[in-house]
Structure 1
């Protein structure tokens, strides 16, 4: 009798399970593919989101965003004490119409986003995040009324609160609206490393462009900005064709800045005691002063001569380099030698 009862109960249990699996929500394949492409989550997590919300795509997307924030915040707290000395430099530039009819205006920016390892810096999630932060600083920045130079450092704390925007050279992203800080937290959850926005600078005036090396067109291990000013008119008074030509010239100067790492812009900027300590004053100027350097593609011309002649070739009565900046990932950050060994050990332990 007991065996009959047990058999009967077992049969009922199997029937219940069969009914459950027969009626349980199955993830829509097209929605699953779309969700994974948009969020870059795992297959398991995407399935869970769709099943939980009966294939309602918007609800699944919202749930994944909340889940990413929660897991990212937890991971961020865990990695807060680690050193983030790797990462990427990212640049963005855009040419926009000025108030003058047919006029020209350019804006450029440079940022440094840090992580713990070079491996993570080469991840697409990290690269896209860096380029979009650069774009956001470019699009949202308003020049200060008290800036003392064309290239202006801006507040990282303020920028972190801004909504993350797409890069002008990349397709629109669907997750516009999240703040930069929220996006960094999500990236920490996905990549498992400390990620920090270290510094940001934006060109507030002049004709500008940037260049990065050691990566792709908008991210790399070192980068720079260069700013030119026409001599007889303001930048906003330039015709669009002349402005575009000068912006290309500015990019070449930025490339020179990244490749040759000048210490000064003008000869007058070099401290007198530094010059007096050199056995060959002229050689020192050619090696350390941007405007005195031989231009990389025409060494018989100085950078100053190249810029001035390039402006004249476009119908502008000369131009000059008025500012530049060069950054390299991790410079000035004290890097512990055992950071990588610690990371491997943590990975093995599953921490």
Structure 2
């Protein structure tokens, strides 16, 4: 029987399982939806689907380097307690090795990667059912370097933050230092050439409004030309604070990152930084209240 997109959607609506899982279930059951539901339940995938609406904002980020290839990725769980689970840590490693060897560059591609006869999407669903918390692969980044370049990799607090730097040359110590700096200082851009004109104009407008409001309360208000110079100064300072090369080097604030790498006859090409759960709106949970309600039941 032909497995149509409509049939896959029907099964997904019933179980909440992933599209790939639904397609495989229907293939295994010759398109019988009821049998496919049973198949997913037996695999623990339908059970995992019940947790699909939960928020997984904890977990770990990881960075793996192998020769000229590096991957930086994030696997999420619902609690930081589970993130310390040996089963979860083993899952992190399994996913990372698959990402490294598969050549995928996006999360969508990663979920379809086959590991030991199963897709990563199915492996995560099974982990959700086994561990008892929603487990997701959220972000995947792949970086390749040239032979005359070097990676620097760093993990903070076991993977709460993972960072990767790419530098010209072969100075691994400097590359590691830059990765540590990136983890600590969280730059947004490599240098000011990466900042869009729209963003600069927007920030300048905000700073101008702030300066004009401050000027209103001054005993002796400043003239417009002075305010404009003041805004330019504040803008330049702000832009430098978010650019890696302009930041004071974390190990020696007396020199900038650019001065540090230049002194070591190298230059930063690019960097990546992931922090667990950034950008996810976390749900506030009153555990005491939950326990009290369960005791009443």
Q: TM-score, normalised by structure 2?
A: 0.66
1:113 to 75, 99, 105: 75
Given the alignment, which residue of 110, 115, 123 partners 2:85? 123
2:44 aligns to what? 72
Question: d(CA) in 2 for partners of 1:177 and 1:108?
Answer: 24
The SS at the match of 1:334 is: coil
Cα distance between partner residues in 1 of 2:277 and 2:238: 27
Is 1:137–2:99 an aligned residue pair?
yes
- Report if aligned partners of 1:115, 1:193 keep a CA contact under 8 Å in 2: yes
Are 1:228 and 2:167 matched, yes or no?
A: yes
Match of 1:338 among 264, 281, 285: 285
- Check whether the contact 2:248–2:256 (CA below 8 A) recurs between aligned residues: yes
Structure 2 residue 263 is the aligned partner of structure 1 residue 309: yes
SS at 1:79 equivalent: coil
Question: How many Å apart are 1:202 and its aligned residue?
Answer: 0.8
- Corresponding residue to 1:93 among 65, 70, 73: 65
Counterpart of 2:192 (choices 263, 267, 272) is: 267
Report matched runs for 1:24-39 at 5 Å.
Answer: none
Label 1:340 to 1:107 Cα distance change in 2 as closer, same or farther (>3 A).
Answer: farther
Q: Deviations over 1:197-216 (max 9, x none)?
A: 1110011334323212111x
Per-residue CA deviations over 1:271-293 (Å, capped at 9, x if unaligned) read 54336835545643553210011
Distance 1:349 1:108, change over 3 A: farther
Unaligned 5+ segments in structure 1 are: 1-66, 96-105, 143-153, 165-175, 231-242, 313-318
Structure showing greater radius of gyration is 1
1:163 to 83, 91, 114: 114
Is 1:191 aligned to 2:142, yes or no? no
Aligned to 1:83: 55
Alignment of 1:37-76 (within 5 A): 70=42, 72-76=44-48
Equivalences, count: 227
Q: Distance in 1 between matches of 2:292 and 2:56?
A: 17
1:238-279 Cα distance to aligned partner (Å, 9 max, x none): xxxxx3x3x432222111111001122113334543368355
